[in-house]
Structures are given as C-alpha cells and as structure tokens.
Structure 1
Amino acid sequence: MTSRQMVLGMQFSGGYGAEPGAWRLPGANLNSYTDMDQFVRYARTAERGKVQLLFIADTPVLDMDLTHHAPRQAIEPLLLLTVLARETERIGLVTTASTTFTEPYNLARQFKALDVISHGRAGWNAVTTSTPAAAANFGSQIPPRAEKYERAHEVIQIVQALWGSWEKDALLLDVENNRYADMDKIRPVALQGRHVASRGPLPIPPSEQGQPVIFQAGGGEYGLEIAGRYASGVYANPYTIDDARAQRQALRDAAKRAGRDPDEVKMLAGFMPTIASSRTDALQRRRFLDEVVDLGQRVRYLGTMIGLPLDPDQLDEPLTTQQLAAAVPSPHDPRSARALEVAREGWSLRDVLAHGVIDYHPVIAGTATDVADHMQEWFEAEACDGFSIALDGFHDGFDAFVDQVVPILQERGLFHEDYEGPTLRENLGAHEQYGLDPRVSEQARP
C-alpha cells in the first residue's frame, strides 16, 4: 500500500453533466439546471464517497447555443455552493471567480462569507478572464495579457490581506465585560496597486480553517507564476502522462521559486469517465450523448488532427487502408496520437469520436475497473496528485463513481477511507495560512 493518497474533486457544470447531451439521458431530471435538490443529492453522494471537494468552473457569459445544448455554467456558483454548505458537512466547496472583472473587496467578502457559513470548507479558483463576450458583460474589453496578470497578482494579495484583517482572537464574545470584539485587532489593510486597491477591513471573523484555500486553473508562464505563488490546488488539462509529468514538475518548480514547499501544491488532472457494465455499453452511452453535437464538424476536425481531409459522409465507416497509410498525428495537438490509435483499431468514425478523442480531458469509457486502472496508472507515474472528475452525466454518474470506482481505489490503497478533518485545508493537505503568505509577500506586486 502506498502512503501517498490521491485528491479527488468532482466537477459541477450546468447541472446535467460534462457532455452536451447529458440532459437527454434516460432518467435525468430535466429541471436539474435550477433544481437545488438535485445538486444537494450529488453533493451528498460525493461526500459519501469521501471526495475532497466539489468544483464549479465558471465563465461569466452565456457563450453557447441552447437550441440543443443545456447551459455549461451554474446559475450562480457562490449561491449554489452556499446552498450546499448547509446540506453537507465535510466536502470542500470551490468555484471560479475572475480577477479581471471583480474587485478584491467583493471577492474577499463573498468567499470568506462562504468559508464561515461552511465552517471552513471554501476554496477560490482565482483565474483571469480571456473571453471577449464575458468582458462585454462588464462593459469592458480584455486587457493585454501582461496587464491582466499583473492585476491578478494585486487582486489575490489584497484578497488575502483582507481575509487576515481580523486577528484570530479578535472576536471576544465577552458578555460579562460587555465586549463583542477587540477593535485593536481588526485593522484596515490599506493596500494600493496599479490596478486595484482596498482599505478594509472585512466585517467577517476567521473560519475554522482561517481563510479560503486558493486554487488556480490556466497554463502558460503567467498562470504558472500565479499557481506557484498562491495556489494549494491547480486544475490542469494534460492529455498524456508525459505532458502531465512535465506540467506537474513545472508547477513544483514555480512553487519552489516562490519560496514555498512544492508538496504544498496539488495538481489535479482533468478526467472524463463514462462508467458502464461493459465497454460496449459505455461506448453506446457515448454515442447517445453525441446525438446533440455537430458530428459533421467533428469529423472534419478529426481529419485535421490526423492529417486527412475527412468527409462527414464517412461517419459510419472506418478509415480505409489508404487513409490509414497516409494518416499522421498532428504535432500541435496532444490528442492526435490517441485519435489515430483508436482509428487504427477499425472503428467507424462515429465510434472513434464516441471514444472521446477530441474531448478536452482524457476519456475512459468502460467499467469501473477500467476507470480505476487509468487513475492508478497516472497517479503512480506521478503525473498528478489527483483528479478533477468531469462525469458525463450526473444523475447516475455520481452514484456509479462513488459506489463502483471509489471502493476499488480504496482497496488499492490509493484513496483515503475517511476525511482527515472538518475543513478543506485539512482534507487537501494544504499549508496553514492566514492573511498574506509571508514567504511570497516580500515579492508582492502591489
């Protein structure tokens, strides 16, 4: 049995699942987008499986055609997580909020309020915004990349300072001496940067974990610096073990450069399982899920991945001998080698696509053992510290993962049997922090 244990996060999207066609699955609640009882059921199921955290990715824009697809985003992440905070006890509650279009005082107040309400289970995925349509919702434009990340540094530091604006023993609740709090221990932060500022303090005392845990998602040099300086958890999108190892090492190096212990930062690799009683049944499920997507467009895109001019008329046929001989995986798309590998097995193009070869995370469509095998291979190869699980459909996927996959991981000594404590910081194994991290504040941007 290994002493190293994986961290698991379960993704929430618009309420139905990670695949666009999840809302059509037999048995799915068609009102899941707005039905809080459904989200409570999913959260309690994940908590029953001792999953460390729930994660809501968010971009503040409606950026898709709803004619055939359900919304990708939650109706409002922080409000949804507040509902779940009252209906769960141990599982972490993490969501995205933009450093580009949100003021640090608002961020600090909202996330610390969630942290107090949940008794120390909140996490903030601090990311910049790069979607012009989202910027338009704030009457603005996307700033230049360097400026956007300079602002992100300022926002995160001011937020952390505001979180620490009450000393830990400032709240007295001393009835006998008529003293509610010690105002000498509740002080303004008075931080001014080039882009944002805040006087403070917050009107909120510390939570059981002190303050929310910071997460980060997004690659590149700028994103890596944000993660290395501030994050305890990082959402990554590697498609191969080699790529994952490289990303994880780069992350650990960034943490070390910032004066932190690299083990403090956990990289969660995105993963999209489809769980069924057999691989045949799993593939059939994914064919059904694909019925709402433009398969013609996907066939053409598959062609660019493997260097062939593919026609949608070939959707229900495999690649010909001549096509296979001419096919070459694109060096610019890490998914291409897997796409060609599946095509060479003789599947029709419809089935090649059903294998998830152009999904944004690796896909395993098969039994619970198949899913656990993939996770074990990546984890033991030190390609990640855990996984961010994007289930294809929520209404039956949460139960399938918790009841079938989690016990296998536990039997193999890869996943804990119970929560380490009541807070997200404890269950993630994150370092203790209250206010700014003194190891990195010396290099502060504001």
Structure 2
Amino acid sequence: MKTKHMTIGVAMADFYGSHPNAWRSEETNPLTYINIDEQIKYAKIAENGGLDYIFMPDRVFLHLGFTGIVNFPIDSIVQLSAIAAHTKHIGLIPTLSTSFNEPYTIARQLRALDLISKGRVGWQVVPSFEPDAFANYGQSVPNSRDKYERLHEVVQITQALWGSWKKEAGEPNQETGVFLNNEYIQPINLQGKYVGARGPLQAPPSPQGQPILVMPAASNSGIQPAGMYADAIIGMPNTIEESVRLREIFRSAAEDAGRNADEIKFMTFFTFGLGKTRREALDRRRAMENPEDLPGRLRHLSMLLGVPLSESAVDEPLTSNQLRALQQNPHVNKSTQAIRLAKEGYSPLDIIAHGVLDNTPGVVGTAEDVADYLQEWFEAGAADSFVIIADRLSDALSDFVNQVIPVLQERGLRPENYMGNTLRENMNLDYQLGVDPRILNESDQIK
C-alpha cells in the first residue's frame, strides 16, 4: 500500500547555490561545476539524507557577452551517469530538449542510464525557446505550434521505443542456449511530420520499466501535453494559493487525457538557508553579500518596497517616513514579503538576507522554520514534491539533510528509509512501459 508523504529532491545545476556569491565563499570549490568528484560528493550527501532525486535543469547555450558564473551543467547525461555509478538509491533527472534531440537518441541514452542506475531515472521534457539555443544547432526558432507538435512526436516515439522491448523477451539462458525471445522485441516503424524511428531499442526495460517524465508548468500550449504524458509537473509558484491553482490545472489536464489526477505529481522549487537561530541564519546570508553588489541589490529591494534606499543606512530599520511611503509592487510577489519585513523593523540588509531577491519562494531560518513551510504547503495541497535549492550548496545541503529531514520524519511527513529501489517507487508512481494507451485516440497516434 502506498503511503502519503512529501517527496523531496535537490536541484543541482552549477553546484554552487542560488545566492549569486555562493561560488566565492571560502567553503566552496569554484571549479565544482567541472569537478565530478565534488558533484558525486554532493550526490552522496543528498542520498545519505534520503532525498528522492537529483534534478538537473539544463540549457544548451552560453549567452554572448557572458560575464557571470556558469549556471547550467556541462552535460547532464554524462554527469548523472558518473553519479549513478557512485549512488544506489537517489533518483537522477536530467533535461533533454525535444527541439534538438531525436527520439532514438533520447530513448537509448535514458534507457542506458536507467539500466546503469537500476531504475532511478527521470527525464525533464522541455521544448527549447531561446534563440541562442537554436543558433547552436543551426536553426531558427520555430513557432509555438511546430514546437509542441514536435514535442508530441518526440515523446510518443521515445516511449514507443522504450516499449519495443517487452519484459517477456526474458533473459539469456545459458542452459537452453536461448539468448532472448525475439517475438517480444519488435520494430515500431513510426514516422511523424518532424521525427521518426524504426526501432526496436537495443536494451531491455529497467526495473521501473521506463524513466518518469517531468514537464514544466508551462501555460497555453504546454498544458495539454503535460496532462497527457507527465508523471510530474515542475513549477515556480510564489504562494500557496497560486500553487494550488496551478496544481489543479494540470490535474484537470491529466483527467482530460483519460488519466487519474493522482497519477501526476506537482513539484515546486524551494530556496532555503539555515542557522541554529533565525539571527544566525540571517547573519550567514549577510556574510555572502559583497560590497560591490550592494548598489544593484538595493535598487532591486527599492523596487519591491516602493521607496528609495540609501547605502549609508543599509543596516538600520527604515525611517518612519519610509514606512509610511511603502508601496507594494503588484507585479512582484516578493514585494509583499519585503514590505512585511520592513514593517517588522528589519534593516535593508536583513530584508535581503531573508531571500526576498531570490527567484523562488523559500525560508531563511531554523530547521523548524523550513519544516513548517514545507508542511504548510504540502498539507494545503499546494505540492506533492519539493525541489530544494540551497542558497550555498557547500554547507546548506548537509545542514538540510541533518537538520530538516529529521524534523519532517518526526512529523510523519518523510519515511525513515527509501520506499523502494526505483524512482517510480519512491515517487509513488506505477510501473510503465511504452506509451500509455489511455491517452491516444486514433487522431492522436503517429502512424
């Protein structure tokens, strides 16, 4: 019987953390983004804490005029393959774009990684949209219709390839001399408008059948394919209310596709920083700030508060005149949090330390503060799973697994051990092999 608990994974892209200066900290190796030994170390920390998966977002370009840090993996498939060999339980979710990759390549690479890891793999399915990415493949950006029509074809053909080798093919039998039953390994012979494949695939199913599919919480054209194919949706809502609405949109899309809404899990990003006390947590974040960045950071905070801020008073509470002039920015959700903190008497530096400039919601505080936040969202039906983003990976990840996870376990929100051996088992998802026959009517099928 499946139990109801939150699942938790960790985002690992640059292997530094969400704070822009995390890579400059003494605790951080600045070459971690190309050092696989360091990356494996973090994966083991996450696994020792019982985290369910490593989520590796990706982009296939570097902006011209690049002056910042490298924000994405050098190659998520290669890196997670190395990590797979040094871990036993944690899931591995790379990103592959449907805009540039052929179904056979996707199916083959992910099947290999799934077998190497004994059934611990997912695939973040994304259509690319950035001109720089298309330029790297010698292409121009397609219109939305072509982009999503290709996505449909790539996903269907990839899953058909995964299903081209059935479990019934068996295993090599040295006594009988029968290597495999070829009756259960057959071509698929599918050809769409954009992609096609003959098949069959070259390797058998993994213990979970095939990788889980994770898709972003895109709007408009992205909703229908997510409802049809996704095992999990990953979104960036800023409030519980927004997350509940977004989760229901995709649960409804799954039902419209002929599926059960509970078959699709909703994952949200969550940024955190920890300390033994809230003051310690804020001071830790403040120590990451650099003077040269302060003018820009203050301008950003001023935009959230609706009042100008002076560098000469960054460590003092706002004046009574400033407090009276506070004005919420209706276009930025973090504006509400920033104004509340200002009214509570926090200085501009402390308000920034609370994470109001982060791209995702989160908590800077104690382990109990973080656990309270996750529990509130989970019990409100706002999320099934949390993708944690450490503000500084070098210390925050170990603090999370050592401090927050035990609190969640004590509250019955996390299991004491992994629930199973595969990612599907740990995510409370059923075995699947091939295209789900419920989602395709005659007009949807690729011939």
For the superposition of Structure 1 and Structure 2, which TM-score range results when normalised by the shorter chain? over 0.9
1:239 lines up with 2:226 in the alignment: no
Alpha-carbon distance in structure 2 between the residues aligned to 1:116 and 1:179: 22
Matches within 5 A, 1:420-439: 420-439=419-438
Partner of 1:342: 341
Matches within 5 A, 1:47-446: 47-63=47-63, 67=67, 69-291=68-290, 294-308=293-307, 315-316=314-315, 318-442=317-441, 444=444, 446=446
- Alpha-carbon shift at residue 268 of structure 1 (Å): 1.4
1:42 lines up with 2:42 in the alignment: yes
Alpha-carbon distance in structure 2 between the residues aligned to 1:387 and 1:293: 33
Deviates more, 1:110-119 or 1:300-309: 300-309
Same amino acid, percent of matched pairs: 42
Q: What's the TM-score, normalizing by structure 2? A: 0.93
- Alpha-carbon shift at residue 445 of structure 1 (Å): 5.8
- Alpha-carbon shift at residue 190 of structure 1 (Å): 1.6
Q: Which stretches in structure 2 are left out of the alignment for 5+ residues?
A: none
* C-alpha distance after superposition, 1:230-280 (max 9, x if no partner): 111221111111111111111211111111111111111110110112222
Alpha-carbon distance in structure 2 between the residues aligned to 1:135 and 1:419: 40
Deviates more, 1:314-323 or 1:258-267: 314-323
Q: Which stretches in structure 1 are left out of the alignment for 5+ residues?
A: none
- Alpha-carbon shift at residue 373 of structure 1 (Å): 1.0
**SS of residue paired to 2:208:** coil
Is the CA contact (8 Å cut-off) linking 1:193 and 1:445 kept in structure 2? no
- Alpha-carbon shift at residue 320 of structure 1 (Å): 3.7
- Alpha-carbon shift at residue 117 of structure 1 (Å): 0.7
After superposition, the Cα gap between the structure-2 partners of 1:309 and 1:28, relative to the gap in structure 1 and judged at 3 Å, is closer
Alpha-carbon distance in structure 1 between the residues aligned to 2:249 and 2:288: 36
Structure 2: which amino acid aligns with 1:414? L
After superposition, the Cα gap between the structure-2 partners of 1:230 and 1:290, relative to the gap in structure 1 and judged at 3 Å, is farther
After superposition, the Cα gap between the structure-2 partners of 1:124 and 1:70, relative to the gap in structure 1 and judged at 3 Å, is same
Deviates more, 1:25-34 or 1:265-274: 25-34
Is the CA contact (8 Å cut-off) linking 1:172 and 1:181 kept in structure 2? yes
- Alpha-carbon shift at residue 52 of structure 1 (Å): 1.0
**SS of residue paired to 1:439:** coil
1:32 lines up with 2:32 in the alignment: yes
Alpha-carbon distance in structure 2 between the residues aligned to 1:185 and 1:373: 50
Alpha-carbon distance in structure 1 between the residues aligned to 2:49 and 2:292: 32
* C-alpha distance after superposition, 1:99-134 (max 9, x if no partner): 112111111111111001111111000011122212
Alpha-carbon distance in structure 1 between the residues aligned to 2:229 and 2:313: 49
* C-alpha distance after superposition, 1:259-317 (max 9, x if no partner): 11111111111101101122222112222333288443333333333444556676555
Partner of 2:4: 4
Structure 1: which amino acid aligns with 2:259? R
* C-alpha distance after superposition, 1:145-192 (max 9, x if no partner): 222122111111111111111111224412234332222322121222
* C-alpha distance after superposition, 1:363-382 (max 9, x if no partner): 21111111111111111111
Is the CA contact (8 Å cut-off) linking 2:18 and 2:358 kept in structure 1? no
Is the CA contact (8 Å cut-off) linking 1:215 and 1:231 kept in structure 2? yes
**SS of residue paired to 1:440:** coil
- Alpha-carbon shift at residue 222 of structure 1 (Å): 2.2
Q: What's the TM-score, normalizing by structure 1? A: 0.93
Is the CA contact (8 Å cut-off) linking 1:64 and 1:71 kept in structure 2? no
Is the CA contact (8 Å cut-off) linking 1:154 and 1:445 kept in structure 2? no
Alpha-carbon distance in structure 1 between the residues aligned to 2:139 and 2:145: 17
After superposition, the Cα gap between the structure-2 partners of 1:323 and 1:130, relative to the gap in structure 1 and judged at 3 Å, is farther
Alpha-carbon distance in structure 1 between the residues aligned to 2:134 and 2:162: 27
Alpha-carbon distance in structure 1 between the residues aligned to 2:326 and 2:150: 45
Structure 1: which amino acid aligns with 2:19? E
Structure 2: which amino acid aligns with 1:425? R
Structure 1: which amino acid aligns with 2:387? S
**SS of residue paired to 1:97:** strand
* C-alpha distance after superposition, 1:407-436 (max 9, x if no partner): 000000111111111111111111221000
